[in-house]
Amino acid sequence: MSPNVETRTQRLATLLGTELPIIQAPMAGSQGSALALAVCAAGGLGSLPAAALMPEALRAELTVLRAQSEGRPWNLNFFAHQPPAPDVAREAAWRQSLAPYYAAYGIDPTQVPAGAGRSPFSAALADLVEEFRPPVVSFHFGLPAPELLARVRGWGSKVLSSATSVEEALWLERQGVDAVIAQGLEAGGHRGHFLWRDVSTQMGTFALLPQIAGAVRIPVIAAGGIVDAQGVAAALALGASGVQAGTAYLLCSEASPSPVHRAALIAEATRIRTGQPASGTTLTTLFTGGAARGLVNRAMRELGPLDNAAPAFPLATAAIAPLRAAAEKVGLGDFSPLWCGQNLSALPVNGSISAAEVTRALAQGLAAG
Amino acid sequence: MSPNVETRTQRLATLLGTELPIIQAPMAGSQGSALALAVCAAGGLGSLPAAALMPEALRAELTVLRAQSEGRPWNLNFFAHQPPAPDVAREAAWRQSLAPYYAAYGIDPTQVPAGAGRSPFSAALADLVEEFRPPVVSFHFGLPAPELLARVRGWGSKVLSSATSVEEALWLERQGVDAVIAQGLEAGGHRGHFLWRDVSTQMGTFALLPQIAGAVRIPVIAAGGIVDAQGVAAALALGASGVQAGTAYLLCSEASPSPVHRAALIAEATRIRTGQPASGTTLTTLFTGGAARGLVNRAMRELGPLDNAAPAFPLATAAIAPLRAAAEKVGLGDFSPLWCGQNLSALPVNGSISAAEVTRALAQGLAAG
């Protein structure tokens, strides 16, 4: 391992203000302040995903974080997408393809509201967040407009964003982010790409990370497939200064995936370890309109995970929501986004694990060099 | 790094009979015995790809390998696919979609022969190979029939094969392979999958390697995105006993990619390093019918890389071949398989590099722990 690994990891920890250069990936819908606080208490950087929270819920979570973080830094994550114009014809066509499912579940399609479901960072959100002065703010899908970014910097927040190509990493560096998250395709949830659209060309962590680390001068945080000490050691070997891990934290006692999500993760991890045919994960636009990685389920199989007519991100969120709710009520994840990454090695299939245990396990990889 | 890395790498090198647990990936169409011999001389395991060679060409290459390997082990690679039945209607429809290109290049479609272009390992090939007793034989797309596999073992050859899932790795272990190659999706060329067909669910090296290493007892060879010392160190951290590298050797002076292939690789590596929009690589079935990773080119953009009507592997090889030849004649790679992996870090963009230099650079990663 190169002699400057310790320098690199220390530089990132100093930047973040944490003991460890380990970030818990924000996972909207599967966790709140409880997981973030547990990771912070263990020396990592806990993250609160803000994108799917209504303003009052966000304020409540921020109040908890401020009160209970005991001076430790934490990360607030926002989306920074350009909201698309609603497309009435596309929305109608999409609902038409969902019609058999609505009928099967007795859902009246005329009662299914439209809407975005996910809001990008905005002046109104900046007004709300300002008083909480988050120590770190991370963005997904690029960055907000320069004046908004300047406000965030003005509070003293360190700024991170995700790159899925060398081009994106260099672009983010030019905009002045403090560190870049290299998101390999192994990662669960939404792709953070913003300068290209062809997800078929996205790179795995093994290819993306060293190419980004070779191109930028700011610290690079590795994401995608990193779930344990050996993953951290490998990421450092490939030029990372630290890691962001999501899937490893998904079944922690402090996380809150839905019961169907939890059950699906345990079943899949069991299949993989025993060599049974796995469901696998793939990218899908079904649940939000944006390409995101989750376990293959019925909706993906029947409607096509990517080659479907779902409205643009995040407008697809609304139409499938009532199907998700109805199926989950009877214990089925057929219409649920079962987000997870490709590496399920660290998921407990029996019993539970705490965020502190996961963080300590990851931290073992920091000293492995 | 775990204390047993040295034990693992030593065990694999002993199995292969090499100084180094480093395998040069067989790259049909881009190399022959010259590259294999250069890698062997540098202490690695050089590979000769046999799948695209006619029997007499194969015999000639084997004669060179036997004469010049000076007792060092080398690897002979075969495909082990099930040849599909020709589908006349599909072939005709496919040629119809190529018709505008045939017309543009003045190619008479009635003169374009059909055919497989790639042969799986067979009794006839076993007869040919037997006298050369290859020290190592690797297979792609599973394994040949048990009686054929028994013949290979009977010569004393060590047997390797590729896995793209934990399920495939455990299957190969049960068939008695000596080591398994974990092929992450970063890898260039053909996917080696044989127990599943949905390439959208394939895993990156960062997720595939540790999950396979955690499931099998035989040595695991990492492939996909590994091009330099840091890649080797990372692969060892993730549980590998050694590596197989292809792209890193593609521009070696002893390799023989076509001029358009070479030019496209240099141009892409330059774009990535300078943060320019890259062509990217993706999986395509256009060139053989099997999903294989190469640089995005005109044929992929216009015909669709995967969602096209190309005949089943390897029957698609014939129809596009004359287009490839005609375009290459005028310096264009529009219809050429520009195979390469996702990590172009190690490609020289100016000047040349020898296979010995690449092998030594990779070997630096063995001692990194």
Number of C-beta neighbours around residue A200 at 10 A: 17
* A199 and A153 in a common domain: yes
Q: What CA–CA distance (Å, rounded) separates A309 from B277?
A: 27
Residue span of the structural domain in which B69 resides: 5-81+118-253+352-364
pLDDT in tens, A40-70: 999 999 999 999 999 999 999 999 999 999 9
Secondary structure element (H or E) that encloses residue A223, with its range: strand A220-223
B110 and B227 share one domain: no
- The confidence score (pLDDT) of residue A160 equals 98
In a domain, B347, yes or no: no
Residue B162, Cβ neighbours under 10 Å: how many?
Answer: 29
Nearest Cα residue in chain B from A276 = B167
Of A241-245, B49-53, B225-229, the least confident: B49-53
Measure the N-to-C terminal CA separation of chain B; round to a whole number of Å.
6
Residue B237 counted as domain residue: yes
- Per-residue pLDDT band for B3 (boundaries 50, 70, 90) equals very low
Token reading at B329:
């004649």
Are both B130 and B240 inside the same structural domain? yes
Q: What is the CATH number of the domain that holds A223?
A: 3.20.20.70
Question: Which of A273, A278, A368 lies at the smallest CB-CB distance from B1?
Answer: A368
Determine the residue of chain A that is closest to B215 in CA distance: A273
**Cα A218 from Cα A178, distance rounded (Å):** 7
Question: In chain B, which residues have their Cβ closer than 8 Å to the Cβ of A369?
Answer: 1, 369
| C-alpha distance from A279 to closest chain B C-alpha (Å) | 8
Chain A positions touching B235 (Cβ under 8 A) are 234
C-beta atoms of A167 and B307 within 8 A: no
User: Is B369 part of a structural domain of the chain?
Assistant: no
Q: Residue B369: pLDDT band by 50, 70, 90 thresholds? A: low
Q: Do A195 and B277 touch (CB under 8 A)?
A: yes
Q: How far is B229 from chain A (nearest CA, A)?
A: 9
Helix, strand, coil percent values for chain A (each to nearest 5): 40, 15, 45
CB B102 within 8 A of CB B308: no
For residue A241, give how far its alpha carbon lies from the nearest alpha carbon of chain B (Å).
Answer: 14
Q: Which residues of A128-163 are buried (b: 16+ CB within 10 A; e: fewer)?
A: bbeebebbbbbbbbbbbeeebbebbeeeebbbbbbb
Residues B100 and B155 in one domain: no
Residue B151 pLDDT > 60: yes
User: Could you give the ipTM of this predicted complex?
Assistant: 0.96
Query: Is the whole-model pTM more than 0.80?
Result: yes
Q: In residues, how long is chain B?
A: 369
Indicate whether B2 pLDDT > 70: no
Nearest-CA residue of chain A relative to B195? A277
Q: Is A336 inside a domain boundary?
A: no
Contact indicator for A137, A152 with CB cutoff of 8 Å = yes
Task: Say yes or no: A110 and A27 in one domain.
Answer: no
- B203 and B300 within one domain: no
Point out which residues pair with A282 in neighbouring strands.
Answer: A294
Using a CB-CB cut-off of 8 Å, the residues of chain A touching B207 are 186, 224-225, 341-343
The residue whose two tokens read 């991890």 is: A269
pLDDT confidence of A368, banded at 50, 70, 90?
low
In whole numbers, what is the pLDDT of chain A averaged over residues?
A: 95
Same domain? B110 vs B125: no
Return all residues near B233 (Cβ < 8 A) that are at least 6 apart. A1, A234, A237, B1, B365, B368, B369
Query: CB–CB of B210 and A185 under 8 A?
Result: no
Residues B73 and B213 grouped into a single domain:
yes
- Structure confidence at residue A115 (pLDDT): 80
CA–CA dist B367, B369 (Å, integer)? 6
- Binary contact (A281, B210; C-beta < 8 A): no
Same domain, A304 and A178: no
User: Are residues B42 and B150 located together in one domain of the fold?
Assistant: yes
Q: How near does any CA of chain B get to the CA of A70, in Å?
A: 34
Cβ of A355: how many Cβ atoms within 10 Å?
Answer: 26
SS3 A201: helix
In a domain, B280, yes or no: yes
Distance between CA atoms of residues A183 and A176, nearest Å: 18
Distance CA B166, CA B211 (A): 7
Strands B281-284 and B242-245: unpaired
In a domain, B338, yes or no: no
Mean pLDDT over B105-130 rounds to: 92
Which band of pLDDT confidence, cut at 50, 70 and 90, is reported for residue A369? Answer: low
Contacts 24+ apart (CB under 8 A), A144-152: A144/A78, A144/A80, A144/A120, A146/A175, A148/A121, A148/A122, A148/A123, A149/A175, A149/A176, A151/A126, A152/A126
Cβ-Cβ contacts under 8 Å, B215 against chain A = 272-273, 275
Of B196, B198, B210, the CB nearest to A343: B210
Chain B residues touching A1 at Cβ < 8 A: 1, 233, 368-369
Which chain A residues are Cβ-neighbours of B205 within 8 angstroms? 204-206
A107/A122 same-domain check:
no
Give the Cα separation of A36 and B124 in Å (integer).
63
Q: In this structure, is residue A157 part of a structural domain?
A: yes
- What is the token pair recorded at B59? 């015999």
Nearest-Cα residue of chain B relative to residue A234:
B234
Distance of alpha carbon A357 from its chain centroid, rounded? 20
A231 closest CB neighbour out of B215, B225, B238: B238
Comparison of pLDDT for A308 and A129, the residue scoring more: A129
Inter-residue contact A352 to A196 (CB < 8 Å)? no
Looking at the structure of chain B, the number of domains it has is 2
**Integer Cα distance of A154 and A29 in angstroms:** 29
In this structure, is residue A135 part of a structural domain?
Answer: yes
Give the tokens for residue A228: 């344990």
First to last CA, chain A: 6
Contact B307, A307 (CB under 8 A): yes
Comparing CA positions, the residue from B87, B92, B32, B94 lying closest to residue B63 is B32
Chain B partners within 8 Å of A166 (Cβ): 272-273, 275, 278
Residues A183 and A220 in one domain: yes
* Residue A3 scores a pLDDT above 80: no
Q: Do B200 and A282 touch (CB under 8 A)?
A: yes
* Average of per-residue pLDDT values in chain B: 95
Whether residue B231 and residue A214 make contact (CB cut-off 8 A), yes or no, is no
List CB contacts (< 8 A) between B206 and chain A.
Answer: 184, 186, 204-206, 224-226, 231, 234, 342-343
Q: How far is CA B46 from CA A216, B31, B57, B179, in A?
A: 34, 11, 18, 16
Residues of B with Cβ-Cβ distance to A237 under 8 angstroms: 230, 233-234, 237, 365, 368
